[in-house]
Amino acid sequence: MIGYYIHHQGRGHLARAQAICARLSRPVTVLTSLPDVPAEPFAAVVTLPADDEAGTVTDVSADGALHWVPRRDDGLRTRMAALSAWIAAERPAALVADVSVEVALLARLHGIPVVTVALPGERTDPAHVLVHRISDAIIAAWPGPLYRPEWLGAHRHKTGYVGGISRYSTRPASGTRCRTAEPTILVLSGRGGSEFTAATVRDTAERVPGCRWQTLGLESWTADPWPRLCDADLVVAHAGQGAVADIAAAGKPAVLIPAARPFGEQHATAHAVAAAGLAVTVPHWPPPGRWPALIDRALTLGGEGWARWEVRGAPDRAAATIAAVADRG
């Protein structure tokens, strides 16, 4: 048995876990406070209590040593007790943390080998330094040739740069469009949030003629956006790891607008993408007058360069990293 902790912010961590666990031969139990987790491809799902039930939150970082350990929070206490009870009962061969410094540390304190999923950005604070040090292996879900942060250098012997992990890594890009005089622009937003809204897109669509603007995730949600991705001429999205990997899997021209995230996560990804010439990136939603040039630039750049994001085979490479730790004995 392998335990897999999935963070509850957004749905990208879940999609990544689904892609990876479908390639693992060992059964996987998901541990999360995320609601409505599908059964497939997991053996079981353990729903954890929320860890933010205290009316007054104090010293959440233990004086900067950790990320989220608020004092006297009943939710945190019962959550950690539930994790310990599961570990004691199931004796997992390994635990994957995507992502929580505290969960990874708790598992290691129980003697369980830990695989940590690293995130982009500047992860040099004491908590990240600790979790990367105690991990048996680290999965970096982006291509090493395009982004190799200095803070992972000390752990190069146990870090796997597996490429962008998309649940669509093996699906053919059916319905891929060719550039037309009136391109279809799909504005993609995840549940983790972005700086643009449906009203922003509607205003831009009214003031930028000659394009068919569509949205996904702003006013409507679908569990499978792949057909919409494939049918678009251009994708506008935030720079979350899941969104970037899905766009890369579809091979679509893109304009990326990184959202504000802790440690500069999305800005680091956007910088790597722009430096490699894979997509157009802008820091904020542009005014209407800038869109025609951005659209033309992105369509001219095309989507062929996304092959360098190494999406094909990435879930298999991540699964192999986890299996190696679980099988080590």
What is the reported pLDDT for 60?
Answer: 95
Assigned CATH topology for domain 2-167+312-327: Rossmann fold (3.40.50)
**SS3 call for 262:** helix
What is the reported pLDDT for 329?
Answer: 64
Residue 179 pLDDT grade (very low, low, confident, very high; cuts 50, 70, 90):
low
Mean pLDDT of 191-200: 78
CATH architecture entry for 184-309: 3-Layer(aba) Sandwich (3.40)
Amino acid identity at 233: D
121: how many CB neighbours lie within 10 A of its CB?
Answer: 18
Q: Which residues of 234-257 are buried (b: 16+ CB within 10 A; e: fewer)?
A: bbbbbbbbbbbbbbbbbbbbbbbb
Residues contacting residue 63 through CB under 8 Å, at least 6 positions apart: none
pLDDT tens, residue by residue, 72-83 = 999 999 999 999
For the chain, the domains span 2-167+312-327, 184-309
What is the reported pLDDT for 109?
Answer: 98
> Contact at 8 Å (CB) between 124 and 151?
yes
pLDDT at residue 191 above 80?
Answer: no
User: Do 184-309 and 2-167+312-327 fall under one CATH topology?
Assistant: yes
> Contact at 8 Å (CB) between 90 and 4?
no
What is the reported pLDDT for 217?
Answer: 86
